[in-house]
Structure 1
């Protein structure tokens, strides 16, 4: 099989059968497209010509180009996924990438906002929503829900009207790998959501060109996209002190850390976040510890 066709088929497999998100599939396709070009420069165009040495040379060249360890790790994972799938489907004689390794990505503590910063953000959004602006009502509901439930941005934009149970204060989301989970949210988020449903969403829906069950709508009445939420959150965080990414994931990090600060059980937070591994959730215990150390150094006379 031609290598470029194999990448297309593998990407379709990830989306249709593995339930990978559109973002992940796009990243894998881009990485493997680079592999196809690298192999092509060496006159290799079919799947049976893939070898461990070729894959290692590709990763080495990527590292020499200055790519981050996290990018190299993703490229390694994409290549291993491809070669494993090729072997399982009989499109290659053997799994060329079974022994392929990549450097472990650097472990950086995620950016976390203080409670005061969150309160200021929500107060500003609430003031804007008071005027009855449909987009203002929507934006307040989005941020309240992101912080209350620690959802991923794709999970928020993927919500439908039937996804929320306002009586039980729960939201049903479809996470990574098409895994469904039910996540709680609080009364402030409920109030913001109700106001959006009563005055915000109907006004936005009037601008729609077709009927939609999407929960959060754009100014044109269509399902709100992830880029719009990124722009919203990055704008809210732009002037706040602190380093690191300034997107919706910051609110997810913040919610998880504040839960652990408040005494929540680590496994309960793992379930809420939809993490497959407890080790992924444990990064937030490190954040809590670092915050405690900072408070200690700032407040204790003999720190």
Structure 2
């Protein structure tokens, strides 16, 4: 069973270019399912829909969220689809399994006043302060994912056009414009702070953001930096990199940006992924309606 899993993980990494987080989740889901099959005395090749139903019933008994169960179904469906392609299976036992309907949580975002505080706490006279300012300006100014941010190289920044080349999911690249604040912060960091950080390493790194030792900055490193910035700004709020992405999209829509334009900027394949942000723009839409429709407000 493990050999099938290893081949599938290799397929995800090489052919599908899946993110490390996706690979981690898929690997964990497969380990759980393989352990379940072993306990039931069932091999992967003999797995049928009836076995899958027993597995799913155990998931519900364990009170997993609908979101978690949906992810596991997607992971295992993809795994068996891969086995079909490799002629290991003739039929995918997950093909007729429907995903449980998920709630659509409202994205967590910063208010503009909170963002302004975060932009004032970095010491721009220090190398790390310049890096942190460039990091937060880029994340908020472009809405890139943290996984896209850590892969970004110096050459991906075009200061002439003020655009960023973003290497998205599934090898899908896109160009995202950046504002003057992000451009200025990145210029200062690349010309000063980054050069000092890079000098701490003998080998040359093209990665845009470096850690205090001059090595590539990781996703966990970005999360730690943001947490410290929030603490320094005395904000009693939770922080995660995706919150800046949520804020980017929400603030654009609140100012009247087109939903499809925001979809392109975020790199969403489906418009439905972008529509979650419309929940937080209803007040603006209501104001537009009340002020514009001739029968909305009787004078």
Query: Normalising by the residue count of structure 1, what TM-score does the alignment of the two structures yield?
Result: 0.90
| Structure 2 residue aligned with 1:194 | 187
Cα distance in 1, alignment partners of residues 236 and 109 from structure 2: 11
SS at match of 1:267: helix
Once residues 70 and 235 of structure 1 are traced to their aligned partners in structure 2, the CA distance between those partners, rounded to angstroms, is 30
- CA separation in 1, counterparts of 2:235 and 2:286? 22
Query: Contact 2:164/2:175 (CA < 8 Å) preserved in 1?
Result: yes
Partner residue of 2:74?
77
1:228 aligns with 2:239: no
Q: Distance in 2 between matches of 1:234 and 1:68?
A: 27
Q: CA deviation at 1:218?
A: 0.8
Q: How does 1:150-299 map to 2 (within 5 A)?
A: 150-237=143-230, 240-241=235-236, 246-289=239-282
1:31 aligned partner = 29
Runs of 5+ in structure 1 lacking a partner? 295-303
Name 2:63's counterpart in structure 1: 66
Q: Aligned-pair distance for 1:92?
A: 1.0
Aligned to 2:297: none
Following superposition, the deviation at residue 291 of structure 1 comes to: 7.1
Choose from 23, 38, 56 the match for 1:40. Answer: 38
Q: Return the alpha-carbon distance in structure 1 between the equivalents of residues 72 and 284 of structure 2.
A: 33
Name the CA distance, whole Å, in 2 between partners of 1:153 and 1:134.
21
Match of 1:135 in 2: 128
- The whole-number CA distance in structure 2 between the counterparts of 1:204 and 1:268 is 36
The answer (yes or no) to whether the contact 1:209–1:221 under 8 Å persists in 2 is no
Q: Is the 8 A contact 2:254 2:284 kept in 1?
A: no
In structure 1, distance between residues paired with 2:47 and 2:235: 48
CA distance in 2, matches of 1:55, 1:105: 20
TM-score (norm 2): 0.91
Question: Residue 172 of structure 1: SS of its match in structure 2?
Answer: strand
Q: Distance in 1 between matches of 2:281 and 2:45?
A: 49
Contact 2:29/2:72 (CA < 8 Å) preserved in 1?
Answer: yes
- Aligned-residue Cα RMSD (Å) equals 1.7
Q: Quote the Cα distance in structure 1 between the aligned partners of 2:214 and 2:56.
A: 44
Moved over 4 A (4+): 290-294
Could you tell me whether the CA contact under 8 Å between 1:147 and 1:252 is conserved in 2? yes
Distance 1:268 1:220 in 2: 39
Name the CA distance, whole Å, in 2 between partners of 1:121 and 1:292.
Answer: 28
State the SS of the aligned residue for 2:120.
helix
Match of 1:98, SS? coil
Tell me the distance in 1 between the aligned counterparts of 2:30 and 2:265.
33
CA contact (8 A) 2:157 2:164 kept: yes
3-state SS, counterpart of residue 120 of structure 1: helix
1:105 aligns with 2:109: no
- Segments of structure 2 that go 5 or more residues without pairing to the other structure are 288-299
Q: What's the secondary structure of 2:119's corresponding residue?
A: helix
Contact 2:121 2:229 in 1 (8 A): no
Q: Is the 8 A contact 1:134 1:203 kept in 2?
A: yes
**CA contact under 8 A between 1:55 and 1:79: conserved in structure 2?**
no
d(CA) in 2 for partners of 1:110, 1:15 = 29
Figure out how many residues of one structure are paired with residues of the other and give that number. Answer: 285
- 1:100 is displaced (CA, Å) by 1.5
Deviation at 1:292, TM superposition (A): 6.9
Q: Distance in 2 between matches of 1:224 and 1:250?
A: 19
How many Å apart are 1:278 and its aligned residue? Answer: 0.4
Aligned equivalent of 1:53, options 13, 29, 50? 50
